[in-house]
Amino acid sequence: MKNDLWYKDAVFYQISVRAYKDSNGDGHGDLRGVTQKLDYLQTLGVDCIWIMPIYPSPLNDDGYDIADYYAVDKTYGALDDLKELIQSAHERDIRIVMDLVLNHTSDEHPWFQASRSDRNSPYRDYYVWSDTDKKYTDARIIFVDTEPSNWTLDEKTGQYYWHRFYASQPDLNFDNPKVQEEMLNVARFWLDLGIDGFRADAVPYLIEREGSNCENLPETHIYLKKLRSFLDEHYPGRILLCEANQYPEDVRPYFGDGDEFHMGFHFPIMPRIYMALKKGRYEDMAEIMRRTPTIPENCQWCTFLRNHDELTLEMVTPEERQWMWEQYAPEPRMKLNMGIRRRFAPLLDNDRRKMELANSILFTLPGSPIIYYGDEIGMGDNLDLFDRNGVRTPMQWDNTPNAGFSTGTPFSELVKGELGYQQINVASQINDPNSYFHTIKRMIAVRKKHTAFGGSSMEWVETGNPAVAVYIRQHSDETMLIFNNLSASAETVNLPDKYQKTTVDLFADHTQTLSEKLTLQPYSYLWLQMPK
Ligand code: NOJ
Do 300 and 291 contact (CB within 8 A), yes or no? no
Amino acid 1: pLDDT? 55
Burial grade of 492 (CB within 10 A; 0-12, 13-18, 19 or more): middle
What 8-state DSSP symbol labels residue 393? P
**Angstrom distances, CA of residue 113 to CA of 6, 122, 124, 154, 208:** 41, 11, 9, 11, 22
* Burial track 34-60 (b if 16+ CB lie within 10 A, e otherwise): bbbbbebbeebbbbbbbbbbbbbbebb
- How far apart are alpha carbons 124 and 106 in whole angstroms? 15
∠ CA 227-305-63 to the nearest 5 degrees?
Answer: 50
> How close is the Cα of 307 to the center of ligand 1, in Å?
11
**Angstrom distances, CA of residue 205 to CA of 27, 123, 161:** 35, 20, 15
Q: Is the CB of 356 under 6 A from ligand 1?
A: no
Residues classed as catalytic:
201, 243
Q: Is the CB of 301 under 6 A from ligand 1?
A: no
Report pLDDT digits (tens) over 8-55. 999 999 999 999 999 999 999 999 999 999 999 999 999 999 999 999
Max Cα–Cα distance, the chain, nearest Å = 77
List residues bridging with 242 in a β-sheet.
200, 264
Amino acid 509: pLDDT? 78
Polymer length in residues for the chain: 532
> How close is the Cα of 66 to the center of ligand 1, in Å?
12
Which regions of the chain are under pLDDT 70?
A: 1-2
The pick from 15, 50, 52, 64 for probing ligand 1's pocket by mutation, whose C-beta has the most ligand atoms within 8 angstroms, reads 64
The per-residue DSSP string of 113-173 comes to HHHHH-TT-TTGGGB-EES-S-TTTTSPPSSTTT-S-SEEEETTTTEEEE-SS-TTSPBB-
CB atoms within 10 A of CB 169: 24
The pick from 61, 66, 241, 341 for probing ligand 1's pocket by mutation, whose C-beta has the most ligand atoms within 8 angstroms, reads 61
Q: Which residue type occupies 6? A: W
Q: Residue of the nearest CA to atom 11 in ligand 1? A: 64
Q: What percent of the chain has pLDDT over 70?
A: 100
Query: In angstroms, what is the C-alpha Rg of the chain?
Result: 23
Amino acid 500: pLDDT? 98
> How close is the Cα of 386 to the center of ligand 1, in Å?
15
- How far apart are alpha carbons 344 and 417 in whole angstroms? 15
Closest C-alpha among 496, 468, 467, 493 to residue 483: 468
Q: Which residue type occupies 471? A: Y
Closest C-alpha among 210, 217, 212 to residue 134: 210
Q: Is the CB of 147 under 6 A from ligand 1?
A: no
Q: What percent of the chain has pLDDT over 90?
A: 99
CB atoms within 10 A of CB 181: 11
Amino acid 365: pLDDT? 97
What 8-state DSSP symbol labels residue 374? T
Burial grade of 195 (CB within 10 A; 0-12, 13-18, 19 or more): buried
- 390 contacts: CB under 8 Å, gap ≥ 6: 341, 342, 381, 382, 383, 384
Count helices and strands in the chain by DSSP H and E runs: 15, 22
Mean of all residue pLDDT scores within the chain = 97
- How far apart are alpha carbons 239 and 360 in whole angstroms? 26
Task: Give the side-chain half-sphere CA count within 13 A for 229.
Answer: 7
Q: Is the CB of 201 under 6 A from ligand 1?
A: yes
Do 61 and 168 contact (CB within 8 A), yes or no? yes
List residues bridging with 340 in a β-sheet.
311, 335
Q: Which residue type occupies 460? A: W
CB atoms within 10 A of CB 432: 11
Q: Which residue type occupies 132? A: T
Euclidean distance between the first and final Cα of the chain, in Å? 30
> How close is the Cα of 201 to the center of ligand 1, in Å?
7
Do 160 and 131 contact (CB within 8 A), yes or no? yes
Residue 159, φ and ψ in degrees, nearest 5: -120, 165
Q: Is the CB of 64 under 6 A from ligand 1?
A: yes
Task: Give the side-chain half-sphere CA count within 13 A for 226.
Answer: 16
Do 2 and 377 contact (CB within 8 A), yes or no? no
